[in-house]
Amino acid sequence: MDIFRTSNEEDKEIFRKKIHSIDRMSQLATQWLPDNYANKRLNVFGKGEFEGLIASSLENRRQNILNYLNNFDENVLVLLSDWTVTDNIINSKFTEETEEQIGQKRYSQTIRLNEKLATQVPLFDSAYFSAFLRLLQIHPQDRYLKRIIRAILELLVGAFGQNLVSQLNEELFTQAPDEISVFDDLTGIFSLNYQGVGQTGMEIIIEEQPIEIDDTTEGITIFKELGRSILEDIYCQAMDYQSLIDSHFRYLYNPKAHWAKFSRIAIFLHTVQRYIIENVNIDAQRLKDGPGYYHDLIDLQEEFNLIAVGTTNYNNFVKQVIKGTSIEQTPVYHLNGSVNDYYDPYKNEILTIPSAIEEEGRILVPFMFTQSGVKPLTSVEMSRKYVELYDHFIDSDIISVIGYGFNSDDGHINGLFRSLVEKENKKLYIFHYKDSNETNTQIERYYQEKLRLNSTSNIKVFLMDKQRNVNDEIWFNSLVKELVMS
């Protein structure tokens, strides 16, 4: 969400200069760009896209939203584990405001949602959401607190409402003759009006600045900031940003069709690149000396010959770490692009740190591969990266995976691993951060589902702690033992 809060004026100006530098007599200008392109207004993402974003999220990720709200207290406690003030401070501040403990009074018996939407609503039995409602009872005129509660309720009602609409559309006639097609023609006629759903929350997290708080801040202010942080957490986890990119990315190749969408996605990619460069901060000394997973690559050379590294990170930290070491020449493949890569949509070509001569007369956009941007995969440069990495994996004795979640958005990478497992009979050694009581078997089945594999036979999971250890030893020692056993 921070990217949408970031000012894009600087990026708009950069893109404007690129447009104005194009030779108006070139093929690019006369055949690809629209008439009078140099004087056309440049558009960026704003409030106008919020409604479509909310609609897509409720359609495609409504279960994520409901899961978050149904487990509201658990999610809030996870948020508080790394928050500005502790849950103990929040509890004491709440007691100062209400003379009650958080969770002492709940609303599950006094608030009921229409049973056509849902018969059970765990949110109203939540200790923390009930705390927000109690504070609003005490401070009924507090507009900010009211907006936060309304935003959460909008998401709740919207998600349940979309469930009902989808059910109606899919099961409008529970029984009808197959040979009479008119019944099929009536499916999908219901829709939800998203104009009043989710907009409040988007406005809060985009427009409202975080409130600085500490242990001395009054309780009502702490809860306002907590509410804003909860909304941001929900939107970060459940918003379908892929749909927003999907609806614009195609126009990166056809600016004549829709100049506004073309300029939005082009400028957005510049903003993403700048945000990553400026905000992904890391201590320079720690980057140099470690400890960290990238530094472990240097140490494991005593036991292994490192053939290749694939990464989905946009930054270039891994190359910075291994520079000047014995593995400096190890190829590193940025599978989703990087802050140093640029893309020419006109020629479907990828360039790494292009020179001024290479940039001249072209429209280049930063290449941070969006999950929806399939077409760049067809470029020779990107196809070669995947093929080369795949061949390196085939030649390897061990394929180790750390910090990659096998999410559905990265289907292009998941397919690579699936092929290695099922077609090449390679084994994946997955290092999984242990934060629950799940067994290795349960986690292996989890990754089997993620990768859509027929079995778990070629998956080996190691449970790892925050110190990068497996059974009190550095993680790659587990791989040494695996080689010995095999």
Tens of pLDDT, residue by residue over 114-141, are 888 887 889 999 999 999 999 999 999 9
Q: State residue 33's pLDDT score.
A: 95
Respond yes or no on whether the N-terminal peptide bond of residue 291 is cis (omega within 30° of 0).
Answer: yes
Length of the chain (residues): 486
Residue 457 lies in a domain: yes
Mean pLDDT across the chain: 87
pTM score, two decimals? 0.76
Residue 198 has pLDDT above 80, yes or no: no
481 occurs within a structural domain: yes
Q: Are residues 291 and 403 in the same domain?
A: yes
Same domain, 234 and 285: no
Task: Count Cβ atoms within 10 A of the Cβ of residue 282 and give its class: 0-12 exposed, 13-18 middle, 19 or more buried.
Answer: exposed
**338, 368 Cβ separation under 8 angstroms:** yes
Q: Please, which residues bridge with residue 474 across strands?
A: 469
Residues 340 and 458 in one domain: yes
Q: Is the pLDDT of residue 108 over 60?
A: yes
Asked if the structure places residue 452 within a domain, the reply is: yes
Q: Which residue is associated with the tokens 């070669």?
A: 384
Kindly state whether residue 254 falls inside one of the protein's structural domains: no
- CA atoms of 401 and 406, how far apart (whole Å): 10
More confident residue, 372 or 205: 205
423-470 pLDDT, tens per residue?
999 999 999 988 777 788 889 999 999 999 999 999 999 999 889 999
In the prediction, which pLDDT does 67 show?
A: 92
User: Are both 223 and 351 inside the same structural domain?
Assistant: no
What pLDDT digit, counting tens, does each position of 206-218 carry? 888 889 999 999 9
- Smallest CA-to-CA distance from 431 within 250, 323, 293, 319 is with 293
In a domain, 454, yes or no: yes
> Is 360 within the bounds of a domain?
yes
Question: For residue 260, is it within any domain?
Answer: no
Whether residue 257 is contained in a domain is answered as no
Domain limits for position 342: 281-485
Do residues 219 and 302 share a domain? no
Q: 159 to each of 56, 74, 198, 204, 238, how far by Cα in Å? A: 11, 20, 10, 19, 11
The secondary structure of 239-308 as a DSSP string is: --HHHHHHHHHGGGS-TTT-HHHHHHHHHHHHHHHHHHHHH----HHHHHH--SHHHHHHHGGGT-----
The pLDDT of residue 162 is 82
Looking at the fold, whether 157 and 220 belong to one and the same domain comes out as yes
In the chain, what is the greatest distance between 2 CA atoms, to the nearest angstrom?
75
What's the total number of domains in the chain? 2
CB 115 within 8 A of CB 164: no
Contacts of 161 (CB under 8 A, 6+ apart): 58, 117, 192, 197
Last residue of a domain, one of 206, 238, 270: 238
Verify that 234 and 371 share a domain, yes or no.
no
Segment 289-307 shows an average pLDDT of: 88
- The values of phi and psi at residue 431, to 5°, are -95, 115
Whether residue 210 is found in the same domain as residue 292: no
Contact 455, 280 (CB under 8 A): no
Using the predicted structure, report yes or no on whether residue 370 has a pLDDT greater than 70.
no
Phi, psi of 37 (to 5 degrees): -60, -35
Same domain, 225 and 294: no
State the Cα angle at 201 between 197 and 205, rounded to 5°.
150
Give the end of a domain, one of 180, 208, 238.
Answer: 238
Q: Last residue of a domain, which of 175, 207, 238? A: 238
Between CA 406 and CA 449 the distance in angstroms is 10
Indicate if 286 and 409 belong to the same structural domain: yes
- Same domain for 202 and 319? no
78 and 227 belong to one structural domain: yes
Q: Tell me, what's the pLDDT at 258?
A: 94
Does residue 377 carry a pLDDT above 70? no
